[in-house]
Amino acid sequence: MNSLKIAVLVGAAFALGACTNAGRFDNDGGFGADGAGAGFDVGSAQDPNSPAYFNQTIGDRVLFLVDQSSLTPQAQTVLAGQAAWLANNPEFTAVIEGHADEQGTREYNLALGARRANAVKEYLVTQGVAATRLQTLTFGKERPLEICSDESCYAKNRRAVTVIAAGGGTS
Amino acid sequence: MRAILIFLAMVFSLAIGSVALAQDGPLRLRITDGVIEPMPFAIPAFQAESAAAGQLASDISRVVAADLTGTGLFREISPDAFISTVSNFASPVQYADWKAINAQALITGAVNADGQGNINVKFRVYDVFSGAELGTGLQFAGTADGWRRMAHKVADEVYSRITGEGKYFDSRVVFVSETGPKNDRRKRLAIMDYDGANVQYLTDSSAIVLAPRFSPDGNRVLYTSYETGFPRIYVLDVNNVGRRAIDLPDGTMSFAPRFAPDGQSAVFSLTTGGNTDLYTVNLGSGDLTRLTSAPSIETAPSFSPDGSRIVFESDRSGNQQLYVMPASGGEATRISFGAGRYGTPVWSPRGDLVAFTKQNRGRFHIGVMRLDGSEERLLTASFLDEGPTWSPNGRVIMFTRETQGAQGAPSLYSVDISGRNLKPIRTEGGASDPSWSPLQR
Amino acid sequence: MHLGYTISGAGHAALIGFLLFGGVLSTEPLPFETTSNVSIISGDEFAALIAESSPDAVALTPDQSETPQAEEAPDVAALSPVEETPPPPPQEAPTPETPPDVSALTPPVAEVEPDAPAEQTPPAPVEPVTTALPEAEEAQEQQADRVAPEPVAPPAPDAQVADTVQEAVTESDEGTEQAEEAPATAPEAAATEIVTEAETPASAPTQSMRPQTRPSRPAPVETAEEAPEAPTNDAIADAVAQAVANQQSTSNVPSGPPLTRGEKDAMRVAVSSCWNVGSLSTDALGTTVVVAVEMAENATPVTSSIRMLSFEGGSEAGARQAFEAARRAIIRCGARGYNLPREKYGQWREIEMTFDPSGMRLR
């Protein structure tokens, strides 16, 4: 396996890690080297330019209705916040991951996840984020967040997550 | 069409039924109601013709018996019930003794081993009640470590001679082996004999892999991997496990690949800008051909056995349904019209049926229908069944069944296309996305 | 009854029978089957293959015709049929160790030529699975093993709670119910049709798909469920036959009046109960065959006389399997003699049966 491939795998592993809860609330270090500190710890969730602020305060994910990829009003609010943060932090890029619940066939869910990710991307673009900073990715039903087989879990799994990264992102 | 013929035949039989015909000539009867039950057969342990063959002879006859009973079409008669034994492969068969225990088929065999790792298996099949051999005796030669394949070949011969169906035991299945919790599944490609024996792994679990599909010659596998972080299709050589990504435009995602019957090209889904359409790619030249251009989802394509058409799923009507179009693209005809959603169509190797996944009222089914959408028949029902694949002879369907809940896990099942003989394929750990190979050579 | 004498000898019929069905009587056991190469990949080879990236190392060597196995020709010749009954004319039951003098014989030997893998290096990406997923639930083996025209309740059906919509069998006349699998030794459960897991027995009344034939009920001839008119007809027929027989005592082949409907139904039902289409190919299940059989005076079928007159709907191969199933039915259920009125022997000495499986609802 060549070094490029290893680098790519590491990047992928990072992206995967970032979509779990544990990974998400811990990633205060690696990113925000130049967060503008004023009255709070640089890089913390109180720092409006920190990834933690993006993930926790703004919200890194939006949810979808069953078999839908259109954005709810709440989702649009979250995405407006994401767009503003990205405008203030131009050194970041994002990979938008689309997911589906388990109630669907594998291939269809991949396509549905791609639609959801793209819906988020297009909204961010309309809010002024350069399309070149955004990539989309679908996991279909391969990476559920919640594992029960009820609507309570399904609702959280039908999501698109904006995973930010400093610099080039994963590719 | 066939349904109509059958219906006419029924009507005809109703009309003629048991109406007494004129008695000038033989007595004429029409039999329309029979029974459907497994055919009882006897298989005395194969003879060991040399000391080195002792265990193998017994093992081989066990695998032959398991293959036959596993079809659901046969039932083995316990050796405890045997009245006579077969002490010599060449001895005349005492039909009366086998009739007495209602053995309708008798399988005898012998195994010779040269002590150098080479073995020789011969067998005969008898139609007990007709008092005649069915076909002629055959023998297979091979190496001792390939004894299972030789047993499968014997069973294939027996099965085919009795049922008239094509062979399928000497085949393999490539699938996704799954371990770990539901929110952190580790997946890797694996290959095994059709009956679950001889599992070998083809990839490690560092990246998600999905839906492997055999090439028509069984030597290559197309599949989807997240090696780069993004879903992308690969082709893997089963024999040396070498793999390469199919070269596709940057910024796209690709999945749901499947070989064309000539093995030279593949059809798959390519996603750009959130829209998923069907393409074919020439595996040699890398040339891409776009088959569909619609804002809807087009995925899960499968070629007809003659390569002239493709069946696929699309939500262009508002939800998932099945469509058929020419292999070069063009106008598609919808074939599914029942309640619910239809996906993952797979054209049968015989060409007459499509197997699919149906989702309706919170349950999943594996079903079959004709290419015009008629004679839909659901074979299974569960919390989540999906991804059918056909046995090489088109008689059996294998699929993924996933159980419900936080501890839910996938496993492989098979079912006869009559809907009978639903059973799990034993695998170590979880398993999903099976693809059945052609008959091995 | 003139027909009874027209068959040109049982031997002739037997010959035809063998030619048609046995596949046994190819006058020379020529190279019946040349099985193609068996290429086997062992675990070790596989391991080596994984380590070895060159595809050359795994060449499956499609054809290497001359192998030591070719020397086993005598063995192959030994594989000619060995009959309990008089062996078919051209073949003496040979013993295996006697080399036949048939030089044309070539062994149907499959070659196994797995290439020796170069090295036994351990495969890089292969690691044993240690974390096993929770065991999947057991298959719901709820289908009756047997489908017969009449539903047979399984012995003590254990209700299985299922993730399926199936229910245990219930008694009903035209039930489309599901029967639990019965132990092999118990009376076999039977559903009236194949009910898949996907079909809901509870909603059976809405199902109208099942083709209904007239109420013919393959059951043992003696059962009380026989067509209602049968007993009376039998009685009447018996009486009539008795009278006729008394008058015709000089005739050595009693013909008697035509069989009554009840008598014919009884025969039809008897054959039906042994007509098992459960192991037939889908092709054979689409094939209707017309079979002729000559009956002995004790109402047992003359096995060698059973022959296929015609077929329609399927391929020749399908017809062959369909015929074999029909032949088995006639022989098995006639082993102790059918319940046919002896005094009407002339009426049933020759029987032509049309086996039409189209209503068996298997696709």
* CB within 8 Å: A67 and B319: yes
Which domains does chain B possess? 39-163 (3.40.50.10070), 172-436 (2.120.10.30)
**Least CA distance to C188: which residue of chain B?**
B37
Task: Flag the least confident range among A106-120, B269-283, C327-341.
Answer: C327-341
* CB within 8 Å: A115 and B297: yes
Predicted pLDDT at C252: 63
B241-265 burial, b at 16+ Cβ within 10 Å, e below that, comes to: bbbeebebeeeebbbbbbbbbeeeb
Predicted pLDDT at B270: 98
Mean pLDDT (chain A) is: 81
| The token pair that represents A61 in the structure block | 């994910």
- With cut-offs at 50, 70 and 90, classify the pLDDT of residue C278: confident
Considering only CA atoms, which of B157, B105, B162, B107 is closest in space to residue B131?
Answer: B105
Tell me: pLDDT of C149 over 50: yes
Chain B hits for A108, Cβ within 8 Å: 297, 299-300, 313, 315, 320, 343
Considering only CA atoms, which of B100, B133, B163, B165 is closest in space to residue C277?
Answer: B163
Predicted pLDDT at C279: 87
Q: Which residue has the higher pLDDT, A33 or B194?
A: B194
For B136, phi then psi, to 5°, come to -120, 160
Chain B hits for C140, Cβ within 8 Å: 422
Predicted pLDDT at B24: 60
Chain B hits for A12, Cβ within 8 Å: 207, 226-229
Number of H helices, E strands in chain A: 6, 4
Span B101-122, mean pLDDT?
94
Which of B2, B24, B27, B133 is the mutation pick for testing C, counting most C CBs within 10 A? Answer: B27
For chain B, how far is it from start to end, CA to CA, in angstroms? 35
- With cut-offs at 50, 70 and 90, classify the pLDDT of residue B297: very high
Query: Which subunits have 3 or more CB–CB pairs within 8 Å of chain B?
Result: A, C
Strands A159-166, A92-99: pairing kind: antiparallel
Alpha carbon of A18: minimum distance to chain B alpha carbons (Å): 13
Tell me: pLDDT of B372 over 50: yes
Tell me: pLDDT of C37 over 60: no
* CB within 8 Å: B253 and A138: yes
- With cut-offs at 50, 70 and 90, classify the pLDDT of residue C196: confident
Tell me: pLDDT of B223 over 70: yes
| The token pair that represents B320 in the structure block | 């998932």
Tell me: pLDDT of B181 over 70: yes
DSSP label of A57: I
Angle at C289 between CA C214 and CA C363, to 5 degrees: 70
Quote the percentage of chain B above a pLDDT of 90.
88
Q: What ipTM does this complex have?
A: 0.91
Predicted pLDDT at A31: 41
Predicted pLDDT at C360: 80
Tell me: pLDDT of C124 over 50: no
Q: Which residue has the higher pLDDT, C43 or B83?
A: B83
Strands B253-259, B265-272: pairing kind: antiparallel
Predicted pLDDT at C52: 36
Tell me: pLDDT of A82 over 80: yes
Q: Give the highest mean pLDDT range of C4-8, C138-142, C305-309.
A: C305-309
Query: Torsion-angle region of residue A39: left (phi > 0), alpha (psi -120 to 50) or beta?
Result: left
Q: Give me the residues of C, 327-356, that contact B with CB < 8 A.
A: 327-329, 331-332, 335, 347-356
For A87, phi then psi, to 5°, come to -65, -35
Query: Which subunits have 3 or more CB–CB pairs within 8 Å of chain A?
Result: B
C11-32 pLDDT, tens digit each: 444 444 444 443 333 333 333 3
Tell me: pLDDT of A91 over 80: yes
The ranges assigned to domains in chain C are 39-63+112-120, 142-206, 229-360
- Residues 6+ away with beta carbon under 8 Å from B161: B125, B134, B135
Q: Give the highest mean pLDDT range of B201-215, C79-93, C103-117.
A: B201-215
**From edge to edge, which strands make up the β-sheet containing B321-326?**
B298-303, B309-314, B321-326, B333-334
Percent helix, strand, coil in chain B (nearest 5)? 15, 40, 40
H helices within C334-358, ranges in order? 345-348
Predicted pLDDT at C192: 58
CA–CA dist B151, B169 (Å, integer):
9
Which of B227, B255, B274 shows the shortest C-beta gap to A107? B255
Predicted pLDDT at B173: 98
Alpha carbon of C156: minimum distance to chain B alpha carbons (Å): 20
Predicted pLDDT at B100: 93
Tell me: pLDDT of A57 over 90: yes
* CB within 8 Å: B163 and C281: yes
Predicted pLDDT at A11: 40
Predicted pLDDT at B52: 87
Considering only CA atoms, which of B144, B81, B138, B90 is closest in space to residue B112?
Answer: B144
Instruction: Give yes or no for a contact between A61 and A75, defined as CB atoms under 8 angstroms apart.
Output: no
C213-272 pLDDT, tens digit each: 444 444 433 433 333 443 445 544 454 444 444 444 444 677 788 899 999 999 999 999
| The token pair that represents C71 in the structure block | 């020397």
Predicted pLDDT at B368: 97
CA–CA dist B223, B189 (Å, integer):
9
Predicted pLDDT at A129: 97
In this complex, is the C-beta atom of C276 within 8 Å of any C-beta atom belonging to chain B? yes
The ranges assigned to domains in chain A are 3-31+42-166
**Least CA distance to C107: which residue of chain B?**
B139
Considering only CA atoms, which of A15, A19, A2 is closest in space to residue A146?
Answer: A19
**Least CA distance to A67: which residue of chain B?**
B319
- With cut-offs at 50, 70 and 90, classify the pLDDT of residue C200: low
* CB within 8 Å: B6 and C358: yes
Tell me: pLDDT of C106 over 90: no
* CB within 8 Å: A117 and B315: no
Residue with token string 């040399």: B50
Span B209-227, mean pLDDT?
97
Predicted pLDDT at C361: 56
- Residue C240: enclosing H or E segment and its boundaries? helix C229-247
Predicted pLDDT at A45: 79
B121-159 pLDDT, tens digit each: 999 999 999 899 998 999 999 999 999 999 999 999 999
Alpha carbon of A85: minimum distance to chain B alpha carbons (Å): 23
B152-179 pLDDT, tens digit each: 999 999 999 999 999 999 999 999 999 9
CA–CA dist B17, C25 (Å, integer):
36
Tell me: pLDDT of B53 over 70: yes
Span C91-103, mean pLDDT?
30
Predicted pLDDT at B25: 83
Predicted pLDDT at B126: 95
- Classified by CATH at the fold level, domain A3-31+42-166 comes out as 60s Ribosomal Protein L30; Chain: A; (3.30.1330)
Chain B hits for C80, Cβ within 8 Å: 136-137
DSSP label of B165: P
Q: Which residue has the higher pLDDT, B238 or C179?
A: B238
Chain A hits for B404, Cβ within 8 Å: 149
DSSP label of C225: T
Tell me: pLDDT of A8 over 60: no
Which of C6, C34, C37, C38 is the mutation pick for testing B, counting most B CBs within 10 A? Answer: C38
Predicted pLDDT at C144: 54
Tell me: pLDDT of B14 over 60: no
Tell me: pLDDT of B410 over 90: yes
Tell me: pLDDT of A141 over 50: yes
Tell me: pLDDT of B234 over 50: yes
Which of B227, B299, B362 shows the shortest C-beta gap to A111? B299
